[in-house]
Amino acid sequence: MRIIGIDPGTIVTGIGIIECFEGKLKMIDCDVILNNSKIPLSDRLKKIYDICTLKINKYSPQEFAIETAFYGKNIQSTLKIGQARGVAIISAANARLNISEYSPREIKQSVSGSGASNKEIVRNFVKKILNIKTDPKFFDSTDALAVALCHYFSLTNNIYLSKYKTSKNFNWKDFIENNPERIVK
- What are the b/e assignments for 34-69, b being 16+ CB within 10 Å? ebeeeeeeeebbebbbebbbebbeeeebebbbbbbb
Give yes or no: 67 in active site: yes
Give yes or no: 7 in active site: yes
| Under 8 Å between Cβ of 129 and 142 | no
Could you say which of 19, 31, 63, 140 is catalytic? 140
Q: Where are the alpha helices (DSSP H) in 16-74?
A: 41-59
- CA–CA distance, 56 with 39 (Å, rounded to integer): 25
| Under 8 Å between Cβ of 32 and 140 | yes
Comparing CA positions, the residue from 19, 15, 16, 17 lying closest to residue 1 is: 19
Could you say which of 29, 31, 63, 67 is catalytic? 67
SS3 of residue 87 by DSSP: helix
DSSP string spanning 110-128?
A: HHHS-TT--HHHHHHHHHH
Radius of gyration, alpha carbons of the chain: 17
Could you say which of 7, 31, 63, 143 is catalytic? 7
Q: Which residues form the catalytic set?
A: 7, 67, 140
